[in-house]
Every structure is written in structure tokens, then in C-alpha cells.
């Protein structure tokens, strides 16, 4: 997942000037594309949009919310996972490595179903859970969705961070050590910032991959943007229109993610 992830980003990084858009073949391509858009607008059915717009906005918001929460928490989990694998003693690195291997070795869809329906099939057997204060949350679908996506991101990024921690220049750490810098300060001031700077391009790609994983949670009744498009599909029996809009939505969000990470990178100077 790592390699194509970073490739996504490299592709997004090649910004073209406006002038280069004015080459003859590009004008033809754009005209063709515009023609396609007009054809879609005329010959496909769009009258349903006003009715479903509020639902779609709610769904889009939920997609973004899930994406942000799971990437942030997942990344925070990935730091200890990477550290444990890079320098931890065997009793820490072994479980961390096993966790990452299992997460990366099985389909996310299966993980989501295992968490939601697997745990769901246990609840009737344990009556006290239903009486506990957590029950109102355990009844909802989103905690399972967030948990599954967070663990998945942590698993993939744990592997990325392992490489990043191992790749930080040893000389700098030795220098800090020589100046008597405490171990935690050294980690916080030198090791972690450099590791993060090194993985920023990869993280951008991985975050887009995480965005692309979010529609899977629709299968456990979370109503995000994909679920809304399914609803339109099943209410009106139209196939292409909601899917095309959906594809457009994901492309815009992916573009925004790529731009955000590019700005981060320029700020931290990780593309020197």
C-alpha cells in the first residue's frame, strides 16, 4: 500500500501553469470533456438532486469527520507502533509487528464486519453490557466504523513510521546524546520531527487511501456519502448519476488532501 500511496502524491505534485493548458491538444481535450459534461447534464436524470441535497451534505460531512478522526488518532497510535518496531525490546516489537502484519494482511471490509457483526453476535450473551452506560454508544454503528478505520490506519502507518524512525540520521542522535539531552527531549525535538518530515509525502498518499476506504463503513449502516448515493440508487433505480457525482466528490476531497499535504511539506521543507 505504501508505494502506490506515495505515487498518488507525486502525481498531484506536478502543478502546471495556466499557460501550458493552452496547448492545442489540451484545448481539444478540454472541449471534448466539456462536451461530455454537457451531454451528461442533458441526457441523464438530475431532478432528484434538490430532494436529496440535505441528506448528501450530512453524508459528506460524516465522511470528512470520520476521515479526520481516524487519521489523527490512527497516526497517534502509529508513532508508538513504529517506535516499538524500530527500537523496542522484543516483547514490544513482536506484538507491534504482529498487529501491523495482521491489519495489512486482511481486507478492511472483513475487519469491519468482524468488529461490527462479530461483536454484535456476542452482546446477547453478555447481559450486563446492555445495562452499562456505554450501551447507547455500542448500539450505534459509527464507533465500530471509527475503531476499524483507526486500527487500519495505525497498522499501515505503524509500518511507515518504523522505516521513518530507522531512517533518521544516527549522527544527529549521537550529537544530542553528547550534549546530554534527556532521552525524551531528544525524541520530541529531534527524532520525531525528522521522522515525520521524512514520511509526509507518503502520509499524503496514505490519507487519500484512507479516504477511499471510508465508503466501506456504509456496509455497517453508517450513513455517509456513499450510503446516500446507494439510497438514491435504490429509491429511483438510477445507477450512473449518483455514482458519477460520488466519484466527483471523492476526487475533490482527494485533491484538497494532496494540496494540504503539499503546503505542509513546503512549510517543513521536506522536499529539499
Partner 1 sequence: MDLILDTLGLAKSAELLSLSPPGWGGNLLRGLANSLQIAFGAFGFGLLIGLFGASGKLYGGVVIRDLLAIYTTVIRAVPELVLILILYYVGTDLINQASSALGYGRVEISGVVAGIWVLGIVQGAYATEVLRGAIQAIPHGQIEAARAFGMPSFMLMRRVTIPAMMSYATPGLANLWLIATKDTALLAIVGFSELTLETRQAASSTRAYFTFFLAAGALYMIVTLFSGAVFARIEKWARRGQPSLRGAGK
Partner 2 sequence: MKLKTFLAAGLASSLLAAGAAAAQEVKIGIAAEPYPPFASLDASGTWVGWEIEVIDAVCAAAELDCVITPVAWDGIIPSLTGQQIDAIMASMSITEERMKTIDFSDPYYNTPAVIVADKSMEIEATPASLAGKIVGIQASTIHQTYANAYFGDAAEIRVYQTQDEANQDLVAGRIDAIQADSIAMADFIGSDAGACCEIKGAVANDEAILGKGVGAGVRKGDDALRESLNAGIAAILADGTHAEITSRYFTTSIYSE
Q: For residue 107, state whether it binds partner 1 (rule: CB under 8 A).
A: yes
By CB under 8 A, the residues from 146 to 185 that bind partner 1 are 167, 169
Nearer Cβ to partner 2, position 116 or 156? 116
Q: For residue 141, state whether it binds partner 2 (rule: CB under 8 A).
A: yes
By CB under 8 A, the residues from 192 to 231 that bind partner 2 are 219, 221, 223, 227, 230-231
Cα 182 to chain centroid distance, Å, stands at 34
Q: Going residue by residue from 224 to 263, which x/- string records binding to partner 2, judged by CB under 8 A?
A: ---x--xx-xxx-x-x------------------------
Query: Does residue 149 contact residue 66 with C-beta atoms inside 8 Å?
Result: yes
Residue with cell 459509527: 142
Neighbours of 16 (CB within 10 A): 8
Q: For residue 124, state whether it binds partner 2 (rule: CB under 8 A).
A: yes
**Angle, CA 61 vertex, CA 60 and CA 64 arms, to 5°:** 90
By CB under 8 A, the residues from 251 to 270 that bind partner 1 are 251, 254-255
101 closest CA partner among 183, 158, 139 = 158
**Total of chain residues touching partner 1, rule CB under 8 A:** 51
Which ranges of 88-191 would DSSP assign to H, the alpha helix? 90-105, 108-113, 119-120, 127-131, 135-139, 142-167, 170-178, 183-186
**Angle, CA 113 vertex, CA 241 and CA 235 arms, to 5°:** 25
Alpha carbon distance 254, 71 (integer Å)? 14
Alpha carbon distance 36, 127 (integer Å)? 58
Residues near partner 1 (CB under 8 A): 1-4, 7-8, 10-12, 23, 25-26, 29, 101-102, 104-111, 113-114, 117-118, 120-122, 167, 169, 208, 211-216, 219, 226, 239-240, 243-244, 246-247, 250-251, 254-255
Residues near partner 2 (CB under 8 A): 117, 120-121, 123-124, 130, 135, 138-141, 219, 221, 223, 227, 230-231, 233-235, 237, 239
Amino acid at each position: 500500500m505504501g508505494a502506490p500511496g506515495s505515487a498518488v502524491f507525486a502525481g498531484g505534485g506536478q502543478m502546471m501553469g495556466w499557460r501550458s493548458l493552452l496547448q492545442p491538444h489540451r484545448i481539444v481535450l478540454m472541449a471534448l470533456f466539456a462536451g461530455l459534461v454537457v451531454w451528461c447534464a442533458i441526457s441523464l436524470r438530475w431532478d432528484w438532486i434538490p430532494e436529496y441535497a440535505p441528506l448528501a451534505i450530512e453524508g459528506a460531512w460524516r465522511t470528512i469527520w470520520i476521515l479526520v478522526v481516524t487519521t489523527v488518532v490512527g497516526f497517534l497510535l502509529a508513532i508508538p507502533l513504529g517506535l516499538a518496531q524500530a527500537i523496542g525490546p522484543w516483547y514490544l516489537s513482536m506484538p507491534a509487528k504482529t498487529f501491523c502484519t495482521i491489519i495489512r494482511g486482511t481486507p478492511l471490509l472483513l475487519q469491519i464486519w468482524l468488529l461490527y457483526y462479530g461483536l454484535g453476535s456476542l452482546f446477547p450473551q453478555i447481559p450486563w453490557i446492555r445495562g452499562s452506560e456505554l450501551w447507547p454508544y455500542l448500539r450505534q454503528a459509527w464507533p465500530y466504523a471509527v475503531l476499524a478505520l483507526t486500527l487500519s490506519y495505525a497498522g499501515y502507518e505503524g509500518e511507515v513510521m518504523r522505516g521513518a524512525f530507522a531512517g533518521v540520521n544516527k549522527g544527529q542522535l549521537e550529537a544530542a546524546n553528547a550534549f546530554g539531552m534527556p532521552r525524551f527531549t531528544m525524541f520530541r525535538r529531534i527524532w520525531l520531527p525528522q521522522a515525520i518530515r521524512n514520511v509526509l509525502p507518503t502520509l499524503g498518499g496514505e490519507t487519500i487511501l484512507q479516504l477511499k476506504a471510508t465508503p466501506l463503513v456504509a456496509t455497517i449502516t453508517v450513513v455517509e456519502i456513499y450510503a446516500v448515493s446507494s439510497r438514491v440508487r435504490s429509491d429511483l433505480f438510477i445507477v450512473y448519476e449518483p455514482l458519477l457525482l460520488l466519484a466527483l466528490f471523492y476526487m475533490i476531497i482527494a485533491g484538497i488532501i494532496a494540496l494540504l499535504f503539499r503546503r505542509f511539506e513546503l512549510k517543513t521543507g521536506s522536499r529539499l
